[in-house]
Chain A
Amino acid sequence: MKSRHKKLLVIVLGVAGLGIAAALILNAFQSNLVFFFSPTEVSAGKAPIDRAFRIGGLVEDGSVKRDPDGLTVRFVVTDTAKSMPVIYKGILPDLFKEGKGVVAEGKIGGDGVFAASQVLAKHDENYMPPEAAQALEQAAKAQKSLVQ
């Protein structure tokens, strides 16, 4: 084997070894790398409920209620299996909407309500003109009524 081929082999093996090491480390830190927990994970006791953490999911349809002070908002975060009530006082991002993704940071209070200190909107990776979105929505509705 020529010396330069040996060197190339060392480089390839080195990078491969590094890759495996990184994969093992990331796998070990898996639980620390998640940005938020779903309501199902929270109810399964996977979230660190003794300190602040983030909860993520969809804002349940029809669950958003504003208190008379105009700032306090109550809503329910759901992952369609489990859900969690949230209370938040502050300004919501523009994309906050019923049926859309949301990530809230805070703690679970004594009453079982998640008291959020920050609410972020999580949007999906779909981009299309409003007409196309409307057409899709109508198609979905038509499908639903056919099934029923």
Chain B
Amino acid sequence: MNLYTYASPANFYHLAGKLIPWFAWGAGLLTVWGLYISFFLAPTDFQQSEAYRIIFIHVPAAWMSMFIYLVMAFWGAIGLAFNTRLSFMMARALAPTGALFTFIALWTGALWGKPMWGAWWVWDARLTSELILLFLYVGIIALWAAIDDVKRGDRAGSLLTLIGAINVPIIYFSVKWWNTLHQGSSINLTKAPSMAAIMLQGMLVMAIAAWLYTIAVALVRVRRIILERERQTDWAKAILEAE
């Protein structure tokens, strides 16, 4: 099997159609399992009692907001360097989901901050850089929407994505580099996680569910983008007429 076959939009359209149900079902089942762990199996926390449970949404959303941005930047770079059409379409398909997760991370963070810290919002380095990430997503989506010429739009949007990518390590390391109100990471590569095993398990299941959800909706979106851009071709015409 030659993987490059799937760099052709027509072939990828059909492959994506076959993959979507798997990712969608996986996301649904893991969300149910993850929420069950979060609400029923995970114990109360020693200092935040029940309020900490928002972590099961907050942390996976925050991880996804940063990870999706890096994937967009990756596709943008590939597209700019090799002029591959499908990479730009992937970047466009991911952006709305990235913006959604950024918004969820900020929103659940505010809901968590008020009872625990005593403030909905503070201008510390972590919160501010995450807000900048939301502005970047919105800016990129707006830029794509504002440029009618598809190719020029692709290049402009991907360039902005690449420039903004510098913000992602700043978000991630902000709690290490500066003193912030936001606490440090509970999970990292250099030491054992500082949370009980069952809590960690719930968070990871929710994170994988968020991954699968992201892949599923990005594939749905990229299929629509492919059809829109290939509407002059016979195969796309046939599908559009059948709809």
- In the complex, the answer to whether A94 meets B116 with C-beta atoms within 8 Å is yes
Q: How many B residues are at the interface, by size bracket?
A: 35 or more
How far is it, in angstroms, between the C-alpha of A7 and the C-alpha of B84 when the chains are bound? 13
Of B30-38, B163-171, B225-233, the one contacting chain A is: B163-171
| Secondary structure class of chain A's binding surface, majority of residues | mixed
- In the complex, the answer to whether B165 meets A35 with C-beta atoms within 8 Å is no
- In the complex, the answer to whether A35 meets B122 with C-beta atoms within 8 Å is yes
Residues of B within 8 A of A33 (CB): 125, 177-178
- In the complex, the answer to whether A15 meets B116 with C-beta atoms within 8 Å is no
- In the complex, the answer to whether B196 meets A11 with C-beta atoms within 8 Å is no
How far is it, in angstroms, between the C-alpha of A26 and the C-alpha of B177 when the chains are bound? 10
- In the complex, the answer to whether B45 meets A127 with C-beta atoms within 8 Å is yes
Interface residues of A in 105-145 (CB under 8 A from B): 118-130, 132-134
Check A122/B45 contact, CB under 8 A, given A35-B178, A93-B116.
Answer: no
- In the complex, the answer to whether B170 meets A4 with C-beta atoms within 8 Å is no
Residues of A within 8 A of B123 (CB): 35
Q: How many A residues are at the interface, by size bracket?
A: 35 or more
Q: How many residue pairs, one in A and one in B, have C-beta atoms under 8 Å apart?
A: 117
- In the complex, the answer to whether B119 meets A118 with C-beta atoms within 8 Å is yes
B83 at the binding interface (Cβ < 8 Å): yes
Residues of B within 8 A of A15 (CB): 77, 162, 165-166
Find A127's partner among B83, B165, B195 (CB 8 Å cutoff): B195
Distance to closest chain B CB from A4 (angstroms):
5
Check A130/B44 contact, CB under 8 A, given A4-B82, A11-B77, A93-B117.
Answer: yes
Nearest to B165 among chain A residues (CB) is A15
How far is it, in angstroms, between the C-alpha of A120 and the C-alpha of B124 when the chains are bound? 12
Residues of B within 8 A of A49 (CB): none
Interface residues of A in 28-83 (CB under 8 A from B): 30, 33-36, 38, 56
Nearest to B119 among chain A residues (CB) is A120
- In the complex, the answer to whether B178 meets A4 with C-beta atoms within 8 Å is no
Of B89-97, B139-147, B180-188, the one contacting chain A is: B180-188
Check A120/B195 contact, CB under 8 A, given A7-B81, A11-B80, A133-B46.
Answer: no
- In the complex, the answer to whether B46 meets A95 with C-beta atoms within 8 Å is no
How far is it, in angstroms, between the C-alpha of A33 and the C-alpha of B46 when the chains are bound? 31
- In the complex, the answer to whether B162 meets A128 with C-beta atoms within 8 Å is no
Nearest to B175 among chain A residues (CB) is A125
How far is it, in angstroms, between the C-alpha of A119 and the C-alpha of B115 when the chains are bound? 13
* 12 A/B residue pairs, CB under 8 Å, sorted by A: A11-B80, A14-B162, A19-B166, A30-B178, A92-B118, A93-B118, A118-B119, A120-B181, A124-B183, A127-B52, A132-B46, A133-B47
By a beta-carbon cutoff of 8 Å, the part of chain B in contact with chain A is 43-48, 52, 55, 77, 80-83, 115-119, 122-125, 162-163, 165-166, 170, 177-181, 183-186, 194-196, 199
